[in-house]
Protein backbone atom coordinates (compact mmCIF):
# COMPACT_ATOMS: atom_id res chain seq x y z
CA UNK A 1 0.00 0.00 0.00
CA UNK A 2 1.15 3.50 -0.80
CA UNK A 3 0.37 6.54 1.35
CA UNK A 4 0.76 10.25 0.65
CA UNK A 5 1.84 12.15 3.76
CA UNK A 6 1.47 15.94 3.67
CA UNK A 7 3.01 17.35 6.86
CA UNK A 8 5.14 20.44 7.46
CA UNK A 9 6.61 19.59 10.88
CA UNK A 10 9.84 17.62 10.24
CA UNK A 11 9.84 15.68 13.52
CA UNK A 12 6.24 14.56 13.15
CA UNK A 13 6.85 13.70 9.51
CA UNK A 14 9.92 11.58 10.32
CA UNK A 15 8.15 9.63 13.06
CA UNK A 16 5.09 9.00 10.91
CA UNK A 17 7.19 7.81 7.99
CA UNK A 18 9.07 5.39 10.27
CA UNK A 19 5.84 3.92 11.61
CA UNK A 20 4.26 3.68 8.16
CA UNK A 21 7.26 1.84 6.79
CA UNK A 22 7.24 -0.43 9.84
CA UNK A 23 3.74 -1.48 8.74
CA UNK A 24 5.16 -2.41 5.37
CA UNK A 25 3.63 0.57 3.59
CA UNK A 26 5.31 2.89 1.11
CA UNK A 27 5.15 6.60 1.93
CA UNK A 28 5.67 9.65 -0.25
CA UNK A 29 5.82 12.92 1.63
CA UNK A 30 5.87 16.66 1.19
CA UNK A 31 5.26 19.81 3.23
CA UNK A 32 3.83 21.80 0.32
CA UNK A 33 0.23 21.76 -0.87
CA UNK A 34 1.06 22.30 -4.53
CA UNK A 35 3.61 19.49 -4.46
CA UNK A 36 1.03 17.26 -2.76
CA UNK A 37 -1.35 17.69 -5.70
CA UNK A 38 1.46 17.04 -8.16
CA UNK A 39 2.38 13.81 -6.37
CA UNK A 40 -1.26 12.75 -6.17
CA UNK A 41 -1.72 13.27 -9.90
CA UNK A 42 1.40 11.28 -10.72
CA UNK A 43 0.88 8.29 -8.40
CA UNK A 44 -1.79 5.97 -7.06
CA UNK A 45 -2.37 6.21 -3.31
CA UNK A 46 -4.62 4.19 -1.03
CA UNK A 47 -4.66 6.76 1.82
CA UNK A 48 -3.78 10.45 2.19
CA UNK A 49 -2.60 11.86 5.54
CA UNK A 50 -3.13 15.59 5.24
CA UNK A 51 -2.04 18.35 7.60
CA UNK A 52 -4.08 21.53 7.16
CA UNK A 53 -1.46 24.12 8.06
CA UNK A 54 1.11 23.49 5.35
CA UNK A 55 3.20 25.50 2.91
CA UNK A 56 1.97 26.73 -0.45
CA UNK A 57 -1.65 25.65 -0.85
CA UNK A 58 -3.65 25.23 2.40
CA UNK A 59 -4.65 21.71 3.37
CA UNK A 60 -8.33 22.52 2.95
CA UNK A 61 -7.73 23.40 -0.70
CA UNK A 62 -5.66 20.26 -1.22
CA UNK A 63 -8.53 18.18 0.16
CA UNK A 64 -11.05 19.97 -2.04
CA UNK A 65 -8.95 19.40 -5.19
CA UNK A 66 -8.36 15.73 -4.41
CA UNK A 67 -12.07 15.19 -3.84
CA UNK A 68 -12.84 16.57 -7.30
CA UNK A 69 -11.06 13.60 -8.85
CA UNK A 70 -10.90 10.79 -6.30
CA UNK A 71 -12.65 9.07 -3.39
CA UNK A 72 -9.33 8.02 -1.82
CA UNK A 73 -9.62 7.99 2.00
CA UNK A 74 -8.30 11.22 3.51
CA UNK A 75 -7.30 11.60 7.16
CA UNK A 76 -6.80 15.21 8.19
CA UNK A 77 -4.13 15.89 10.80
CA UNK A 78 -4.19 19.33 12.36
CA UNK A 79 -3.72 21.48 15.43
CA UNK A 80 -7.05 23.20 14.75
CA UNK A 81 -9.24 22.00 17.60
CA UNK A 82 -12.48 23.95 17.20
CA UNK A 83 -15.60 21.93 16.43
CA UNK A 84 -16.23 24.20 13.44
CA UNK A 85 -12.85 23.21 11.98
CA UNK A 86 -13.67 19.51 12.37
CA UNK A 87 -17.03 19.95 10.67
CA UNK A 88 -15.46 21.96 7.85
CA UNK A 89 -12.90 19.22 7.27
CA UNK A 90 -15.61 16.58 7.05
CA UNK A 91 -17.68 18.76 4.75
CA UNK A 92 -14.72 19.06 2.42
CA UNK A 93 -14.73 15.28 2.09
CA UNK A 94 -12.29 14.06 4.74
CA UNK A 95 -13.01 10.59 6.12
CA UNK A 96 -11.37 11.20 9.47
CA UNK A 97 -9.93 14.05 11.54
CA UNK A 98 -7.08 13.73 14.05
CA UNK A 99 -6.01 16.62 16.27
CA UNK A 100 -2.47 17.32 17.42
CA UNK A 101 -0.86 16.26 19.66
CA UNK A 102 -1.59 12.64 18.86
CA UNK A 103 -0.14 9.20 19.41
CA UNK A 104 1.34 7.78 16.23
CA UNK A 105 -0.09 4.36 17.06
CA UNK A 106 -3.53 5.98 16.98
CA UNK A 107 -2.88 7.23 13.44
CA UNK A 108 -1.87 3.72 12.37
CA UNK A 109 -5.03 2.32 13.98
CA UNK A 110 -7.16 4.86 12.10
CA UNK A 111 -5.54 3.83 8.80
CA UNK A 112 -6.24 0.16 9.49
CA UNK A 113 -9.86 1.05 10.31
CA UNK A 114 -10.24 2.87 6.99
CA UNK A 115 -8.81 -0.11 5.12
CA UNK A 116 -11.22 -2.48 6.85
CA UNK A 117 -14.13 -0.25 5.85
CA UNK A 118 -12.99 -0.32 2.23
CA UNK A 119 -12.28 -4.03 1.94
CA UNK A 120 -15.21 -5.59 3.75
CA UNK A 121 -18.56 -4.98 5.39
CA UNK A 122 -19.51 -5.87 8.94
CA UNK A 123 -21.77 -8.94 9.28
CA UNK A 124 -24.78 -6.73 10.15
CA UNK A 125 -24.44 -4.70 6.96
CA UNK A 126 -23.26 -7.47 4.65
CA UNK A 127 -25.68 -7.74 1.76
CA UNK A 128 -23.87 -8.48 -1.51
CA UNK A 129 -25.46 -7.44 -4.76
CA UNK A 130 -27.38 -4.55 -6.21
CA UNK A 131 -30.21 -2.83 -4.37
CA UNK A 132 -32.67 -0.61 -6.21
CA UNK A 133 -35.10 1.81 -4.61
CA UNK A 134 -37.86 4.17 -5.71
CA UNK A 135 -38.49 2.30 -8.97
CA UNK A 136 -34.84 2.44 -9.96
CA UNK A 137 -34.29 6.08 -9.06
CA UNK A 138 -31.61 4.99 -6.59
CA UNK A 139 -29.34 2.02 -7.35
CA UNK A 140 -26.71 0.91 -4.84
CA UNK A 141 -24.14 -1.68 -5.89
CA UNK A 142 -22.73 -3.02 -2.63
CA UNK A 143 -20.09 -5.13 -4.32
CA UNK A 144 -18.79 -2.47 -6.72
CA UNK A 145 -19.11 0.33 -4.17
CA UNK A 146 -21.11 2.56 -6.49
CA UNK A 147 -24.38 4.47 -6.42
CA UNK A 148 -26.51 5.76 -9.28
CA UNK A 149 -29.10 8.45 -8.61
CA UNK A 150 -31.76 9.18 -11.22
CA UNK A 151 -29.57 7.64 -13.91
CA UNK A 152 -26.38 9.48 -12.95
CA UNK A 153 -23.43 7.95 -11.10
CA UNK A 154 -22.58 9.91 -7.96
CA UNK A 155 -19.11 10.36 -6.51
CA UNK A 156 -19.28 9.19 -2.89
CA UNK A 157 -16.40 9.22 -0.44
CA UNK A 158 -15.48 6.01 1.38
CA UNK A 159 -17.30 7.20 4.49
CA UNK A 160 -20.37 8.32 2.59
CA UNK A 161 -20.69 4.96 0.83
CA UNK A 162 -20.22 3.07 4.08
CA UNK A 163 -22.95 5.21 5.65
CA UNK A 164 -25.24 4.53 2.72
CA UNK A 165 -24.47 0.80 2.95
CA UNK A 166 -25.38 0.65 6.63
CA UNK A 167 -28.67 2.47 6.03
CA UNK A 168 -29.88 0.67 2.88
CA UNK A 169 -28.95 -2.75 4.23
CA UNK A 170 -31.51 -2.36 7.00
CA UNK A 171 -34.27 -0.11 5.60
CA UNK A 172 -36.74 1.06 8.21
CA UNK A 173 -34.37 0.54 11.13
CA UNK A 174 -33.72 3.59 13.28
CA UNK A 175 -30.00 4.09 13.88
CA UNK A 176 -28.87 6.33 16.71
CA UNK A 177 -25.96 8.69 16.06
CA UNK A 178 -23.70 6.57 18.26
CA UNK A 179 -24.65 3.39 16.35
CA UNK A 180 -23.89 5.01 13.02
CA UNK A 181 -20.64 6.45 14.34
CA UNK A 182 -19.49 3.03 15.48
CA UNK A 183 -20.59 1.15 12.36
CA UNK A 184 -19.55 3.75 9.80
CA UNK A 185 -16.26 4.90 11.28
CA UNK A 186 -15.38 1.39 12.36
CA UNK A 187 -13.66 2.22 15.68
CA UNK A 188 -14.18 4.15 18.89
CA UNK A 189 -14.48 7.59 17.42
CA UNK A 190 -12.86 10.30 19.55
CA UNK A 191 -15.14 13.28 19.26
CA UNK A 192 -18.73 14.40 19.18
CA UNK A 193 -20.99 11.70 17.75
CA UNK A 194 -22.84 14.51 15.99
CA UNK A 195 -19.97 14.53 13.49
CA UNK A 196 -22.00 11.81 11.79
CA UNK A 197 -24.56 14.53 11.05
CA UNK A 198 -22.07 16.15 8.70
CA UNK A 199 -21.61 12.91 6.76
CA UNK A 200 -25.39 12.48 6.58
CA UNK A 201 -25.74 16.04 5.28
CA UNK A 202 -23.08 15.44 2.62
CA UNK A 203 -24.72 12.16 1.56
CA UNK A 204 -28.14 13.78 1.31
CA UNK A 205 -26.75 16.43 -1.02
CA UNK A 206 -25.69 13.67 -3.39
CA UNK A 207 -28.66 11.29 -3.34
CA UNK A 208 -31.70 13.35 -2.38
CA UNK A 209 -33.64 15.33 -4.97
CA UNK A 210 -34.31 17.94 -2.27
CA UNK A 211 -31.80 17.63 0.61
CA UNK A 212 -33.92 20.04 2.64
CA UNK A 213 -36.88 17.63 2.40
CA UNK A 214 -35.20 14.21 2.27
CA UNK A 215 -37.27 11.18 1.33
CA UNK A 216 -34.58 8.52 1.72
CA UNK A 217 -32.56 9.41 4.83
CA UNK A 218 -35.10 10.59 7.35
CA UNK A 219 -34.31 12.24 10.69
CA UNK A 220 -36.21 11.10 13.75
CA UNK A 221 -35.82 13.87 16.31
CA UNK A 222 -34.22 12.57 19.48
CA UNK A 223 -33.66 9.11 18.00
CA UNK A 224 -31.43 9.24 14.94
CA UNK A 225 -31.81 8.33 11.28
CA UNK A 226 -33.51 5.68 9.18
CA UNK A 227 -33.62 4.80 5.49
CA UNK A 228 -37.29 5.13 4.61
CA UNK A 229 -37.48 3.29 1.26
CA UNK A 230 -37.78 -0.46 0.83
CA UNK A 231 -35.93 -2.23 -2.01
CA UNK A 232 -37.94 -2.40 -5.24
CA UNK A 233 -40.19 -5.44 -5.27
CA UNK A 234 -40.23 -5.83 -1.49
CA UNK A 235 -42.66 -3.13 -0.48
CA UNK A 236 -45.38 -5.71 -0.02
CA UNK A 237 -43.30 -7.59 2.53
CA UNK A 238 -43.40 -4.47 4.77
Summarised one tens digit per residue, pLDDT across range 204-236 is 999 999 999 999 999 988 888 999 988 876 654
Determine the Cα–Cα distance for residues 130 and 193; give it in Å rounded to an integer. Answer: 30
Asked whether residue 192 carries a pLDDT value surpassing 70, the answer given is: no
Residue 56: pLDDT band (50, 70, 90) is: very high
If phi > 0 it is left, if psi is from -120 to 50 it is alpha, else beta; for residue 191 that is left
pLDDT tens per residue, range 57-81 = 999 999 989 988 887 889 998 876 6
| Rounded average pLDDT over 10-18 | 94
For the chain, how are helix, strand and coil distributed in percent, rounded to 5? 40, 20, 40
- Closest alpha carbon to 77 in 98, 93, 53: 98
Average pLDDT over residues 31-41: 95
Q: What is the pLDDT of residues 85-106, one digit of tens each?
A: 667 777 778 888 888 888 999 8
Q: Specify the pTM.
A: 0.58
Q: Tens digits of per-residue pLDDT, 114-170?
A: 777 665 443 344 445 788 998 889 999 988 888 999 999 999 988 899 999 999 988
Specify the pLDDT at position 116. 75
Q: Which pLDDT score is estimated for 127?
A: 43
For the stretch 193-213, what's the b/e string if a residue is b when 16 or more beta carbons lie within 10 angstroms of its beta carbon?
bebbbbbbebbbeebbeeeee
Q: How far apart are CA 224 and CA 5, in angstroms?
A: 35
| Higher pLDDT pick, 104 / 188 | 104
How many Å separate Cα 19 from the centre of its chain?
23
Mean pLDDT of 2-25: 94
3-class SS of residue 152: strand
Amino acid sequence: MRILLVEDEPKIREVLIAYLKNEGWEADYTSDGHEALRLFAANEYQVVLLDLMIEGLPGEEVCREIRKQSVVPIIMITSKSREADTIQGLQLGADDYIMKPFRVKEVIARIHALLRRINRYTPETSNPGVLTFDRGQLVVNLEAGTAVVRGTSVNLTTTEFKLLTVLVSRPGKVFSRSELTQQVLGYRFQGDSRSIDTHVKNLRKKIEEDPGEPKYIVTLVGAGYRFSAMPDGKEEEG
